[in-house]
Amino acid sequence: MPIEILMPALSPTMEEGTLAKWLVKEGDTVSSGDLLAEIETDKATMEFEAVDEGVIGKIMVEEGSEGVKVNTVIAVLLEDGESADDLGSAKAAPKADAPKEDAKEAPQAKAAEAAAPEVAAPAAPKGDDGKRIFASPLARRIAADKGVDLAQVSGSGPHGRIVKADVEGLSASDTPKAAASKPAEASDAPKAAMATGPSASAVAKMYEGRDYTEVKLDGMRKTIAARMTEAKQTVPHFYLRRDIQLDELLAFRATLNKQLEGRGVKLSVNDFIIKACANALQQVPDANAVWAGDRILKLTPSDVAVAVAIEGGLFTPVLQDAHHKSLSALSAQMKDLAGRARDRKLAPHEYQGGSFAISNLGMFGIDNFDAVINPPHGAILAVGAGVKKPVVGKDGELAVATVMSVTLSVDHRVIDGALGAELLNAIKDNLENPMAMLA
């Protein structure tokens, strides 16, 4: 039976994407692991691999197509012994929703619809938690025929996808279905709808007669809009602010950069901020946490995300185990991640996860600002510019110091006020005593 190749979900949040480029053509023979296409998600351009082997019988979605929904059939793969004659129902699929052009075509359409169940794979299954289970069309068909519950099967394909080899030796008795929990689900209280602004047509009507340029939203901008709206409507933010004196750090940085000059290493203030936050999450472990719906997850490592501005949006690549890394290692990794972020070449695992984020606008001369938490993170640090200011010294004398203002935005579901203050004080102490961070 022909195998439907579906638009993949290349990240947990992906709902649609752009089929940027086909790397195969009709008639090409492919094996598992061969590259089929380049797909643009809301964050990056990624290569899509074949899971099954066969011959590309029909390309259903042209390259350059935007807004292709996940699970849409993008191509059909012929297995050994099959030919183009087996593609009848697959060819008819795109016309299923089209209006009838001729009454004479109706019997053919009905015949195609009748034949479709014989070759179409079952819909993508979902686990007990409602999340989609990734399985190839052939694996889904075999599982449906045998009564195998895919939620109980571990996939051996790319990114844990379930493939033919994972299910062909199984039977229904090997994968007992978990007890259904429909009554419990039915009793859940309905969720209140999020508030929305005026419609696009209503806004356009306000500006009738005025010159403007309409900018189409790309996938990244749509995702940023959705995520930030979700964050401000569902995350109970509160804000903590401190001024941090940087003179000792700046002097220490200058000394280190002079010593590291021969190795081509140049540390930035941001590298010290990353290290200070990573260490602070170890010093205040209860604050190294994320919100997980009905529970809090406390992380052991310090995985710190850093906002990187790119054309048309931003990424937040994550530096994992930042507390274990030297300043020079953090600097090199941050430069690499930032460079690939601007080229939109980051893989999903490089910008997902983490418990804490940093957003630094100091290089733009911004004194201070409040950053929006990126769920499920517990907090985000907004960093302003270092500015010369008059300060009162420990001896009571007036002096001039380089002062940086920071604001910690905190999710009150995860971190309470006193715990947030403890975390921010640890960050401040680390930055004002930079040599201690290396101990």
Which of 27-36, 155-164, 394-403 bottoms out in mean pLDDT, i.e. has the lowest? 155-164
Q: pLDDT, tens digit, for every residue of 344-394?
A: 888 888 999 999 999 999 999 999 999 999 999 999 999 999 999 999 988
Residue 122 has pLDDT above 70, yes or no: no
Query: Do residues 89 and 112 touch, judged by C-beta distance below 8 A?
Result: yes
| φ/ψ (deg, to 5) at 203 | -65, -45
Please name the residues in contact with 429: beta carbons below 8 A apart, sequence gap of 6 or more: none
Q: Is 220 exposed, middle or buried (0-12, 13-18, 19+ CB in 10 A)?
A: buried
- Known catalytic residue at 349: no
Q: pLDDT, tens digit, for every residue of 389-421?
A: 999 988 889 999 999 999 999 999 999 999 999
pTM beyond 0.85, yes or no: no
Q: pLDDT, tens digit, for every residue of 246-300?
A: 999 999 999 999 999 999 999 999 999 999 999 999 999 999 999 999 999 999 9
Q: What is the mean pLDDT of the chain?
A: 83
- Of 159, 324, 377, 412, the catalytic one is 412
Query: Do residues 230 and 375 touch, judged by C-beta distance below 8 A?
Result: yes
pLDDT for the residue 100: 39
Residue 321 has pLDDT above 90, yes or no: yes
Tokens 């999340």, located at residue? 131
